[in-house]
Structures are given as structure tokens and as C-alpha cells.
A and B are shown apart, each in its own frame.
Chain A
């Protein structure tokens, strides 16, 4: 496919790998923010093409991973109601709540449907006026315009049996939380290309300057990631800390202006809890006052749910780049994609799940 195949050309990947080796004179720890990038890196073995001095650590950019356990439990409670059709992206169904997952609700006869787009959920609402249709609106900035549009259209078209369980988080506050942690090791970022396609990259300038870290907006294919690493290492070697854009075929500085306008029209910024990390100020979105009628948490009064995470799981440390997946004693033994203990083993974009699938690590590994 055009704009994919050529970015997987081994000839160009090798050239970039050689250039990175040539310019690297000292150790650097870089974080790729997005789970899609983590998946590419582990799948294609991109980290094995880098000099020994460069360590890639895997960031918190996996919305499925960071959706709090309490929200999964709320989703399960809502999906279990007889009057509800619960609609979700497919990858949320296997995420374990405190006692079960959405799949098990479906197995017991719950009406749970998987869709490709939030507009499909709106269509289901129109076709089933006697049912309450609840969409599990999970995502980062990339997905926010699509979810915002579904609510906007529901309001303008007067569709009253549609609502959303919102779990929207924002990337820049999470990057700041990582950088301000005393345990931080990250010295440069590959920023998430599709988040920046929507939002642009003006938000990152103050972060780069405050923490003196280079931030390179980076795409998802092997050549993109290697070029992102090259640009980031070049800055570190030259003592610069600027925001640069590797993914210029999709990202412009100010982002997608109509998409940002729709996000601001429908959502407002609030504190959100990140699974495995904890609460981060100003790090998420909720529906604004005029769209609250579409907020499933208010409409159905699911109440306060408190849930306990596995004490053994180190996913919070993995999401912050402090630990690697295979350094966890539960990895591959008590924690697998079939029976995940925590956030990063849950989604295929989680670092632990990617290591489990693509890395030939003998299980279990003890350290």
C-alpha cells in the first residue's frame, strides 16, 4: 500500500541505522509515547538496529491500557442492564475488570456490539429507539474528534437514547508527569504522530524548554521511527532540545483546525486517573455542561466504584519507562495476554503484551 510499503523498505532502515550508529557517542534513553509505535518497534525489532548506547523505553500511549479499572467495572455494570445495548471498540472487551470482563457479560446474553466508528453506535441508537445505546468512548486526542462528532450529531438530531461512557485522556500532561518524576530516566521523546495530526505540536514547545528534552513528532512505520530516533539523538548529541516534526506528511504545526474546534465544542479538560499511574491534573476530557445529557455516568447514576489493582503488577512503572516488561517476575507466568494482571498486558499495544507476543523471552524470567 502506498505510504506504508516504502516506509518498511529494509534498505532505508539500514541506512538510518548506520547513520544513528555514526552520530551516537554516549548513552541516551528515549521514550516513544504511543503504543502503536511500541508495537512497531517490538514487531519489527527496531530496537535491535540501534547502537547499544540507545535505550528505547515504552510510554503510556495506550488508551486501552490506561483506562482505570473503576471505569471498566462501570462499563460492565451498564452493559449488564437489560435495557442497554453497549457499544465499544473491540479491544475493550477483553480488558479485565475487578471480577470479569465485557466478553463474559456478552457470553451471558448481554447485548454488546463492536463497532469500527462511533458513528456506527449512533446508527444503532437510531435503529433501536426502545433501547438505551451506550458507547464506550475511550481514546486519546486522535479519537476525540470522532467521539465528539457522535455526541454533536446526537444532540443536533435529537437522538435521546444515545450516551457515552467517556474515558478520554491527553498526552502532554502524561509526558510532564513522567518528566517531573524523581525516578525519570527519559532524555528525549518520540511524540505520537496521530495525536499530533489532530492537535498539532505547539503544546510541546514549553515542555521541551522546561525539561530540556528534544521532542520529535514521529510516525509509525519502521523508517519513520528510525528517522525519529535519528533526529532525537542528533539533538541530544548537539545539546539541543527542540520540537521537530518527522511525520510532516500528516502533521502540521497547528494540527487539524476543524477537529480541534469540535473537541473544544463538546469536551472540557478535567483531571483523570490513569490505570497504573494514578491521577494526573488536566489530563483528560469530559462532556461539557450542554452535552451532559449524553454522559452515561450521569444519565444512569452508576455511583462510585472503587477497585483494587493487583499488588504484584508493575505496569505503572512500565508505563513511565522505569521498568521493562520482562523485568517483572509475573511476566509470562502469572501474567499473560489471556490472564493479564494489569494495564500493559491488556492491549496488543501495551508494552508487556508486545514483548510477550514478539520477543523470544523464556518465560518466566526472574531478575
Chain B
């Protein structure tokens, strides 16, 4: 129910009231019209996490990368201390 999935913004349609701002978002080839009311700062090419037709966050790329950097470090430490 709280399923939300990341998609890439293909285009944005501006509106004078940010509550009506919308975007076309690509989810692995499926494109949907999504409300940007709650993430009005998101730009074309960025990824947003979408739930029931609304973007609820912008994916923070650096934080996404950190998870794997941390995991790689774990591996290196393991090899140092077998």
C-alpha cells in the first residue's frame, strides 16, 4: 500500500500555482503523468519517488551512492582482518 517507486523526470509542465505542477515520469519505460505538488524543486533528468500519482521525494544521489561505498569499505576491512 505504501509502495512507492523511483522514476526519472522526462518533462515538467509549469503552473503558476506549484500545487498544480506536473511532470511526465519514466518508470523503466512506462511513462506516467505525476503531480509535483510536493516536490516542486525537482528538475528534468532527476529521479523522484512516486506514490499514488504524487512525487513524495527527490532521490538524493549522493546518499544512494554512500550505501554502496560503505558496503565496499566493509569488504576491504574484511580482507584486511580475515
Residue ranges of A at the interface with B (Cβ–Cβ < 8 Å): 1-4, 6-7, 12, 15-16, 18-19, 34-36, 61-64, 89, 91, 116-120, 138-140, 142-143, 145-146, 149, 152, 192, 194-195, 197-198, 220, 223-224, 227, 248-252, 256, 258-259, 262, 347, 349
Contacts and interface: CB of A to CB of B under 8 A. Distances in A.
A203 B23 CA distance: 31
Interface residues of B, number: 36
Contacts of A249: 59-61, 63-64, 67
B1 interface: yes
A34 B71 contact: no
Contacts, number: 126
Contact of A197 (B1, B3, B40, B57): B57
Given A1-B5, A256-B39, 7 more contacts: A2-B8, A2-B47, A4-B5, A89-B52, A117-B53, A146-B54, A194-B49
B80 interface: no
| Chain B contact surface mostly | mixed
A149 B19 contact: yes
Interface in B52-82: 52-54, 56-57, 59-61, 63-64, 66-68, 71, 74-75, 78
A143 B51 contact: yes
Contacts of B56: 142, 145, 194, 197-198, 250, 256, 259
Contact of B71 (A4, A16, A149, A347): A16
B40 A258 contact: yes
A36 B2 contact: yes
A149 B54 contact: yes
B14 to A, nearest CB: 16
Contacts of B49: 194, 197, 250
B64 A15 contact: no
Contacts of A7: 67
Interface in B1-58: 1-6, 8, 18-19, 27-28, 35, 37-40, 47, 49, 51-54, 56-57
